[in-house]
Copies of this chain bind each other. A is one copy, B any other.
Amino acid sequence: MAPRVTNPNFMNGVPELLVLTLLQQEEMYGYEIVQAIRSRTDAIIAVGEGVVYPVLHGLERDGALTARRKTVNGRSRIYYSVTPVGSYRLADLSRSWIHLATAIQRMLTGGQHGEAIP
């Protein structure tokens, strides 16, 4: 048989990557994350709440985040922090992304296998 591909959805995990990246830098809450992604990428990337909240819940369920409730100005917010598990996961996703982006970059520039970019 022809060799079969085993590629668990090569483009996934980017929203998760972005969320973890932000939370690694500072504690944040959902609504804030949505806008931080939008503003820090100059609106090039704009994921909606329908993406961010499920990601947060999933990461918390997996022990990658911890949540604590805080009330500021009478507004109830849920702040998330990265756990060691989350740090590990971030490093992992980050590596994957770099690999992927580098591979695509090489394709675009016509570069071949072990080509250095000086």
Binding site for B on A (CB under 8 A): 4-7, 10-12, 14, 17-18, 21-22, 25, 37-38, 40-42, 44-48, 94, 97, 99-101, 103-108, 110, 112-113
Contact = CB atoms under 8 A, between A and B. Distances in A.
B108 A10 contact: no
Contacts of A21: 107-108
Q: Is the interface of A mostly helix, strand, loop or mixed?
A: helix
Contacts of A47: 5, 7, 10
B6 A41 contact: no
Contacts of A112: 40
A14 B37 CA distance: 21
A113 B44 CA distance: 12
Given A104-B45, A104-B101, A113 B7 contact: no
Contacts of A44: 99-100, 103
Contact of A46 (B10, B42, B101): B10
A60 to B, nearest CB: 21
